[in-house]
Structure 1
Amino acid sequence: MPISTIEKPLPVSITERAASEIKQIMANKNIPAEYALRVGIRGGGCSGLSYLLGFDKAKETDDAYTHPDGFGILIEKKHAMYVLGMQIDFEDGVNARGFIFSNPDVPQS
């Protein structure tokens, strides 16, 4: 059963650099069209929650969105409150390369 796309603002923001990297990964890794970017959380012992990104097929428990750049985004409904307001960026520097998650709504320790 196909999951319908939600026609409301994305609960996360994705910078231009991150969107460009996501599209490049999808093209270079030949990610099938029925897959979308999954944004979620992973529960984690002492360090608390950690964010996750990956490519996956939609499930009944997901909310599906379409990014303005054309790729799909999946967020499991029970993860929505944890990722709300999060920004996903991409860094490609001398010391680090990868996606960066920041959420101004989550207090820093």
Structure 2
Amino acid sequence: MMISATEAAASRVQAFLSKRGKGIGLRLGVKTTGCSGLAYKLEFVDSSNSDDEMFESNGIKIFVDQKSLKYLDGTVLDYTKEGLQEGFKFTNPNVKDECGCGESFTV
């Protein structure tokens, strides 16, 4: 099992944590929603949970709960800026289909 972050994503997470003034990393998970079934969720982590799997990549810690891990194995978190659009991008090898708006996916 593996989750990783690009240098751009890691740099952005470190900047957010620094500005926030606390936190040990980022939690990546999935939630049931949208027209395709699953959507990504991101949140800062101040302390890990007992069921978390922790991955270190480019100097940041990424925490994933056991339920989400099966949907996220192999995912690479990136941060992109294209014109006025910027944000985190997920490259997930488990995705079989995405909704038209790009907010949700199926595995």
TM-score normalised over the length of structure 2 = 0.78
- Equivalent residue for 1:89, pick from 75, 78, 94: 78
Matched, 1:51 2:25: no
Q: How many residues align?
A: 97
Matched, 1:99 2:85: no
TM-score normalised over the length of structure 1 = 0.77
Structure 1: gaps spanning 5 or more residues: 1-9
Q: Does the CA contact (< 8 Å) of 2:72 and 2:94 recur in 1?
A: no
User: What percent of counterpart residues are identical?
Assistant: 30
Higher strand proportion, which one? 2
Could you list the structure 1 runs, at least 4 aligned residues long, displaced by more than 3 angstroms after superposition.
none
Tell me the C-alpha RMSD between the 2 structures: 1.8
Q: Provide the rounded CA distance (Å) in 2 between the counterparts of 1:25 and 1:48.
A: 29
Alignment of 1:7-46 (within 5 A): 11-32=2-23, 35-46=24-35
Q: Does the CA contact (< 8 Å) of 2:3 and 2:62 recur in 1?
A: no
